[in-house]
Amino acid sequence: MKHVISDKFYQLTNKLIPGGVNSPFRSFHEVGGKAIFMKSGLGAIIKDVDDNEYIDYVGAWGPLILGHRPQKIMNALKDITDKVMVTGAPHELEYELAFKLNKIMPSLEKIRFVNSGTESCMSAIRLARGYTKRDYVMMFEGGYHGHLDITLVSENHQSSTGIPDNVKINTVMAKYNDIDSVELLFKKHANKIACVIIEPVAGSMSVIEANHEFLHKLSKICIEQKTILIFDEVLTGFRVALGGSQSLSGVKPDLTCLGKILGGGMPIGAYGGKAQIMDYLMPLGLVYQAGTFSGNPLSMACGKAVLNALSEDGVYEYLEDMTHIFASNLTQFCQSKNYPIHIQRVGSMFSIVFSAKPVLNYADSLMIDTIKFAQFFHYLLDRGIYLPPSAVDAACISKAHKLEHIEKTLEVCYKALSNIYNLSTS
């Protein structure tokens, strides 16, 4: 596969944009090589600037649950842009999307729309602090909540320089799926913890479903401690089920953060939850949050169209069937060959984990063989299969993926793995 034009863009872009990317996820720094410049997409297929085609399992890192440019979303976009782009004033579509969202996720009694998942997590945490009048935030090692200071403080995983120590000291880190670690932190910081933020299905240390019993206990402790429970469903919302992962576990968070799929392909974030907490936001309360593009008509129109499409009969059954066929066949193949690989998935989000045992938390994720994953990634890429360029980040199947795409992908995966393991044992 040739990448002549892409390589040229890569060189040029690197001169003006750090690392050639506007989000580090897109670079190939974890797997080696140069990021590929894409130019178009339709259905399950994405095409690069050299006209190479790939079956796309990145799905724009989550949003494209209906595939690229689905007709219903394109129609909604055309209808709204025939009338308006942005107004800076309230628009009826904000009500319509909020109404639909409240029906789909009843824990969102009131909702605020913002522009990204990061913004939704940042705003929900500020609201929790304003409401409880406490400073501390509990999160889970290996969790990802966007690029806000307060959750990029781990000494071990995704973190950043440039975050002052007096910000870092307000974040305490528990272990995913480990209620003892949560209890210990509550004992140590009694009456100080404003909120616990958790991805109920983790997507950045491979796909890990939080144990439902663990989530129920976590919710109980939060109620006892008068701490706000925030579910970060930016990735899982409308992905693992229409009602998000909260509809699977039955645990009702105080606040929920959303993004990705909710915009139907347009930029969006949203957070919502108990009315008595949400009413602490300005102009009713004293917690400030604002945004020029928040609730803009384009994102609202596409959001409404995607939720309508996802509410149709059979969508989640289809996604489940396709992902099950992929995951069960690949698992069987790996087991039959004794390859140390696990397919971890919830609904249509999955990761192919190169590890001898399943990954249940951040420490387990460190055991993943990232070198073998990089070989696997490039083998697939060269044969027209586009996976996230990361051994731990979730891949996604969309409604546009047909059985023929899954079968072709399986075939290439089998060859890739035979190649990698036969080479490594010879």
Ligand X SMILES: Cc1ncc(COP(=O)(O)O)c(C=O)c1O
Alpha carbon distance 68, 81 (integer Å): 19
From candidates 199, 254, 364, 369, binder to ligand X by CB under 6 A = 199
Residue 389 lies near ligand X (rule: CB under 6 A): no
DSSP, collapsed to helix, strand or coil, labels residue 96 as helix
**CA nearest 138: which of 207, 212, 211, 230?**
230
CB of 269 to ligand X, least distance (A): 6
User: Closest-CB residue for ligand X?
Assistant: 117
| Residue tagged active-site, from 10, 56, 131, 260 | 260
3-state percent helix, strand, coil for the chain, nearest multiple of 5 = 45, 20, 40
Residue 141 lies near ligand X (rule: CB under 6 A): no
Quote the strand ranges of 143-264, DSSP E. Answer: 171-174, 193-198, 201-202, 208-209, 228-232, 255-259
DSSP readout, 194-205?
EEEEE-SEE-SS
Edge-to-edge strand list for the sheet holding 53-56:
38-42, 45-48, 53-56, 385-386
Residue 235 lies near ligand X (rule: CB under 6 A): yes
Among the residue ranges 232-240, 340-348, 352-360, 410-418, the one whose residues contact ligand X (CB under 6 A): 232-240
Residue 208 lies near ligand X (rule: CB under 6 A): no
Residue 231 lies near ligand X (rule: CB under 6 A): no
317 Cβ contact partners less than 8 Å away, ≥ 6 residues apart: none
Chain centre to alpha carbon of residue 266: 15
Residue 145 lies near ligand X (rule: CB under 6 A): yes
From candidates 118, 123, 245, 348, binder to ligand X by CB under 6 A = 118
From candidates 232, 254, 364, 369, binder to ligand X by CB under 6 A = 232
CB of 268 to ligand X, least distance (A): 8
Residue 117 lies near ligand X (rule: CB under 6 A): yes
Residue 186 lies near ligand X (rule: CB under 6 A): no
Total of residues contacting ligand X (CB under 6 A): 14
2 Cβ contact partners less than 8 Å away, ≥ 6 residues apart: 50, 52
CB of 139 to ligand X, least distance (A): 11
| Residue tagged active-site, from 232, 254, 364, 393 | 232
From candidates 203, 237, 244, 264, binder to ligand X by CB under 6 A = 203
Q: Which of residues 63-102 bind ligand X (CB under 6 A)?
A: none
Active site residue 144: yes
CB of 293 to ligand X, least distance (A): 13
**CA nearest 175: which of 206, 148, 210?**
210
Active site residue 260: yes
Residue 239 lies near ligand X (rule: CB under 6 A): no
Q: Which is nearer to ligand X, 327 or 394 (CB)?
A: 394
DSSP, collapsed to helix, strand or coil, labels residue 343 as strand
Alpha carbon distance 348, 327 (integer Å): 10
CB of 337 to ligand X, least distance (A): 32
Alpha carbon distance 327, 345 (integer Å): 8
CB of 236 to ligand X, least distance (A): 7
Active site residue 232: yes
Q: Radius of gyration (Cα) for the chain, nearest Å?
A: 21
From candidates 41, 43, 259, 389, binder to ligand X by CB under 6 A = 259
Q: How far is CA 226 from CA 112, 176, 193, 195, 220, in A?
A: 23, 21, 9, 9, 10
Q: Which is nearer to ligand X, 66 or 261 (CB)?
A: 261
For 136, half-sphere exposure in the C-beta direction (CA atoms, 13 angstrom radius) is: 16
Contacts with ligand X, residue ranges (CB under 6 A)? 61, 116-118, 121, 144-146, 199, 203, 232, 234-235, 259
- Residues marked active site are found at 144, 232, 260
